[in-house]
């Protein structure tokens, strides 16, 4: 038995389509998706349609990530105060391009699970961790050791950090397949993992797949996303080109530039002028 493990697609339909066309993935018996299907890249409805269609055609086990939680929380919010711009424009664009049925599809997904397969040892899947979708499990960290110690299975699969790795501790394995759609501190390209069952033991292999990003970059402008969340989108495209985590870096610098000049707009809001200045200092523009 072989299983493909994919995580953190972030609406990158081009990367997802490239992965699904890869001969290594086409040979698997099923899929495990670890969440964060949408936000950041254009046409979230396209990525969602691919996932939903695949789930009807082949065995798939799907989790909900923190990005889906953001959208679902916003749907239930009384204020619904997101606006276009680099603060929340990308999230608002994603929300407006998904149907209520799409959101319901994501809502019914669990955030963690234990999977059982005939003739194979069980395995645990989470997005961030078993207790929080936003927790970062990384190699060598104390919380990663604790997560493995508390895990009821010998294999724990996680996403969220966008860091591809296999970490072993006390005869247990923590595996992150990396990000399909948005690399961080790694060479550009899509990443995924394959689990192969051999002699009753799961053996993970990590894979890196370069792909053509032309249609994806064109879609940022065609879709209107670039206009609705300009600096954030420029940072995402820079990350796709370089593998450097530009969006949070730009946000931190913009916040630093805004303080103490900016008051009264709340801790999450940064005026667009500071986003622009930060992007220029970082060489994004």
How many distinct structural domains can be found in the chain? 2
**234 and 187, same structural domain?**
no
Instruction: Identify the CATH number of the domain in which residue 52 sits.
Output: 3.60.21.10
Q: The whole model's pTM is what?
A: 0.95
Q: Tell me the sheet residues that pair with 114.
A: 124
148, 174, 209 - which closes a domain? 209
Domain of residue 265 covers 229-282
Q: Which DSSP string do the residues of 98-139 spell out, in sequence order?
A: S-HHHHHHHHTS-SEEEEEETTEEEEEEESS-SS-TTPPP-T
219 lies in a domain? Answer: no
169 lies in a domain? Answer: yes
Task: Provide, rounded to the nearest whole percent, the portion of the chain with pLDDT above 90.
Answer: 92
pLDDT band at 264 (very low <50, low <70, confident <90, very high): very low
**155 and 32, same structural domain?**
yes
104 lies in a domain? Answer: yes
**238 and 193, same structural domain?**
no
Contact (CB, 8 A) for 25 and 19: yes
Contact (CB, 8 A) for 40 and 46: no
How far apart, in whole angstroms, are the C-alpha atoms of residue 71 and residue 120? 36
Which sign, positive or negative, has the C-alpha torsion 19, 22, 23, 24? negative
**104 and 237, same structural domain?**
no
Can you give the pLDDT at residue 159?
Answer: 98
| Residue 145 DSSP one-character state | H
**253 and 198, same structural domain?**
no
Q: What is the pLDDT of residues 18-65, one digit of tens each?
A: 999 999 999 999 999 999 999 999 999 999 999 999 999 999 999 999
**236 and 171, same structural domain?**
no
Q: What is the pLDDT of residues 82-137, one digit of tens each?
A: 999 999 999 999 999 999 999 999 999 999 999 999 999 999 999 999 999 999 99
Q: Element (H or E) spanning 197, and its range?
A: strand 190-198
What does the chain come to in residues?
285
79 or 227: whose pLDDT is higher? Answer: 227
15 lies in a domain? Answer: yes
Can you give the pLDDT at residue 269?
Answer: 80
């Amino acid at each position: 038995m072989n299983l493909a493990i994919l995580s953190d697609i972030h609406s990158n339909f081009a990367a997802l389509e490239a992965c699904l066309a890869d001969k290594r993935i086409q040979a698997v018996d099923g899929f495990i998706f670890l969440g964060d299907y949408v936000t950041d890249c254009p046409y979230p409805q396209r990525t969602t349609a691919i996932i939903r269609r695949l789930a009807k055609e082949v065995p798939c086990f799907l989790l909900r990530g923190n990005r889906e939680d953001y959208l679902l929380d916003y749907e239930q919010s009384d204020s619904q105060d997101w606006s276009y711009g680099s603060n929340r424009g990308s999230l608002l664009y994603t929300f407006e391009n998904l149907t209520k049925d799409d959101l319901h599809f994501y809502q019914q997904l669990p955030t963690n699970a234990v999977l059982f397969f005939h003739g194979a040892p069980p395995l645990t899947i989470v997005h961030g961790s078993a207790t929080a979708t936003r927790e970062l499990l990384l190699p060598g960290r104390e919380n990663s050791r604790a997560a493995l110690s508390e895990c009821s299975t010998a294999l724990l699969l996680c996403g969220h950090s966008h860091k591809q790795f296999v970490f072993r501790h006390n005869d247990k394995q923590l595996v992150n397949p990396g990000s399909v759609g948005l690399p961080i501190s790694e060479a550009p390209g899509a990443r995924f993992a394959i689990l192969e069952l051999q002699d009753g033991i799961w053996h993970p292999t990590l894979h890196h797949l370069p792909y053509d990003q032309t249609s994806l970059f064109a879609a940022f402008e065609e879709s209107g996303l670039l206009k609705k969340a300009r600096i954030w989108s420029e940072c995402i495209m820079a990350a796709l080109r370089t593998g450097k985590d530009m969006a949070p870096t730009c946000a931190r610098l913009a916040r630093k530039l805004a303080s103490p000049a900016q008051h009264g707009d709340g801790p999450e809001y940064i005026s667009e002028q500071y986003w622009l200045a930060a992007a220029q200092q970082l060489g994004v523009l």
